[in-house]
Amino acid sequence: MRDSNARALRERAERVLPGGVDSPVRAYRAVPGVPPHIVRGEGAHVVDADGNEFIDFVLAYGPHILGHQPPEVITAIRAQLDRGIAYGHTVELEVELAERIVDAVGSVEMVRFVTSGTEAAMSAVRLARAATGRDRIVKFAGGYHGHADALLAEAGSGVATLGIPGSPGVPSAAVAGTIVLPYNDNDSVAAAFEDKGEQIAAVIVEPVAGNMGCVPPAPGFLDGLRAITSKWGALLVFDEVMTGFRVAYGGAQALYGIRPDLSLFGKVIGGGLPVGAYGGRRDLMERIAPSGPVYQAGTLSGSPPAMAAGIAVLDVLRHDPGLYRRLEDLGARLQAGFEESAAAAGLGCAVGRVGSMVTPFVGIEMARNFDDVKLADRERFGRLHEAWLDAGVLWPPSQFETAFLSTTHSDEDVDRTVESFARTLSTVSV
Ligand code: HOZ
């Protein structure tokens, strides 16, 4: 891969941005090579400043379900920009996007927009604590809900990529109330509630884990969480920042038929602009200021161009349900390709996938939780990532980030990715 412009950008960036990035995963610390200096994206492909073209499975870490630059979204953003960027007043677009979310997601009766998934999670935890009068939170190891203090315990995503347990600067008191349990293990959840159930405000969970790589929920896991939280009067919070409008129009809760109390959104609902949202039962949401006393605010919350982008994305998805079929077919093709290639190379490979979220974990047979996926062959993943870059495939630079497909990926894109995977497995030994 040509990379002289990428190296030059990294050198410049490292002088003025910590690690040369604004979000740690972008620094490629867990894989060899230099992050490409991307200058343009269209559909499923991006181009870098060195003239390399890549099939993009990063997709900005999830928002671009319709690929880069979908015409409907670009037109909607431009139309809003012609009228202004932000006014500090509620605009009709906020109401329209909230109405679409309420219509699509059965458990959500009201929505509050924020500017990131981190903010959505932090705010939902505050609301859950206020509503229950309890302080403790249950989360799962390898689950990532942004970087708010209480949730940075045994987190996935960049925290897992860098191999650190949490972060200096998080007061021990902030995580003292956080109970971390293994994903997909209802027994440990039941035991935690038996022990401290009357102190637990909420269980927060990615209904499909994406921040330890993609790990689907085991049959019964989400139902079990619903039953246990209801029994103990705790809230069930679904972090659908990745899965919302991605694994199904109504999110993972529609796919699995579960009704959480609160849900978090981001990524797809902003079309690539910075948006987060939390929503849920009216009686809970009406506790938020100014309806109620639970304070949460944001100068640029409900950003008009971001609302316009989100509405445009949701409208494309809503009017063509065949798009979800297409995403499922592409994901299944990729999964089958990975499984067959690994078998041909005589290697174990658990492939975690739900629809268009997918991760191959080479070297392990089962990926049920963070302990399992930490055993995947990360050295080999690094070699694979490097080979993919050389072959024109841009994959998330960490074993602990799910890859994403868009409606613009082609069968050929998938097949080229699988071919390169197969070639690397059969030729690279580590
Ligand atoms: N998995 C992360 C967000 N859910 C990736 C984005 C980032 O940390 O930059």
Task: List, for residues 148-160, the tens digit of each pLDDT value.
Answer: 999 988 888 888 8
% of the chain surpassing 70 pLDDT? 99
Indicate which residue of 3, 50, 56, 239 is catalytic: 239
User: Pairing relation of β-strands 276-280 and 110-114?
Assistant: antiparallel
Give the CATH H-level superfamily of domain 4-69+321-427. Aspartate Aminotransferase, domain 1 (3.90.1150.10)
For the CA of 241, the closest atom of ligand 1 is 4
Rounded to the nearest 10°, the torsion over CA 363, 246, 37, 70 is 150
Q: Which of 154, 58, 67, 66 is nearest to 358 (CA)?
A: 58
Domain regions of the chain by residue span? 4-69+321-427, 71-319
Cβ proximity of 414 and 326 under 8 Å: no
Residue 283 Cα to ligand 1 midpoint, Å, equals: 31
Choose the weakest-confidence range: 97-101, 148-152, 414-418: 148-152
Compute the average pLDDT of residues 94-123. Answer: 98
Residue 137 Cα to ligand 1 midpoint, Å, equals: 22
Reported as a single tens digit per residue, the pLDDT across 278-295 is 999 999 999 999 999 999
Residue of the nearest CA to atom 6 in ligand 1?
61
Per the annotation, the verdict on 103 as an active-site residue is: no
Compute the average pLDDT of residues 309-334. Answer: 97
Cβ proximity of 265 and 277 under 8 Å: yes
Quick one: pLDDT at residue 167?
Answer: 82
Residue 158 Cα to ligand 1 midpoint, Å, equals: 7
Residue of the nearest CA to atom 4 in ligand 1?
211
Quick one: pLDDT at residue 138?
Answer: 97
Quick one: pLDDT at residue 110?
Answer: 98
Look over the chain and give the mean of its residue pLDDT values, rounded to a whole number. Answer: 96
Q: Give percent helix, percent strand, percent coil of the chain, each to the nearest 5.
A: 45, 20, 40
pLDDT category, 131, cuts 50, 70, 90?
very high
Q: Tokens 């689950």 belong to which residue?
A: 143
Residue 421 has pLDDT above 60, yes or no: yes
Compute the average pLDDT of residues 200-205. Answer: 98
Residue 58 Cα to ligand 1 midpoint, Å, equals: 10
Per the annotation, the verdict on 231 as an active-site residue is: no
DSSP string, 229-281: HHHHTPEEEEE-TTTBTTTBTTHHHHHHT---SEEEEEGGGGBTBS-EEEEE-
Cβ proximity of 302 and 90 under 8 Å: yes
For residue 398, the number of C-alpha atoms closer than 13 Å in the C-beta half-sphere is: 24
- Partnered with residue 207 across adjacent β-strands are none
Compute the average pLDDT of residues 74-94. Answer: 98
Residue 167 Cα to ligand 1 midpoint, Å, equals: 16
Residue 64 Cα to ligand 1 midpoint, Å, equals: 14
Per the annotation, the verdict on 267 as an active-site residue is: yes
For the CA of 23, the closest atom of ligand 1 is 9
Tokens encoding 188: 């440990």
Residue 31 has pLDDT above 90, yes or no: yes
Q: Which of 357, 352, 355, 353 is nearest to 325 (CA)?
A: 355
pLDDT category, 430, cuts 50, 70, 90?
low
Residue of the nearest CA to atom 2 in ligand 1?
157
Question: Of the CATH numbers 3.90.180.10, 3.40.50.2300, 3.40.640.10, 3.50.50.60, which one belongs to the domain with range 71-319?
Answer: 3.40.640.10
Reported as a single tens digit per residue, the pLDDT across 345-388 is 999 999 999 999 999 999 999 999 999 999 999 999 999 999 99
**Ligand 1 lined by 25 (C-beta under 6 Å):** yes
278 alpha-carbon distance from chain centroid: 15
Q: What is the DSSP letter of 12?
A: H
Identify the burial level of 60 via C-beta atoms within 10 angstroms of its C-beta, where 0-12 means exposed, 13-18 middle and 19 or more buried.
middle
Do the two domains 4-69+321-427 and 71-319 of this chain adopt the same fold? no
Residue of the nearest CA to atom 9 in ligand 1?
23
Residue 166 has pLDDT above 80, yes or no: no
For the CA of 211, the closest atom of ligand 1 is 1
Mutate-to-test residue for ligand 1 from 59, 61, 373, highest number of ligand atoms within 8 A of CB: 61
Quick one: pLDDT at residue 355?
Answer: 98
**Ligand 1 lined by 23 (C-beta under 6 Å):** yes
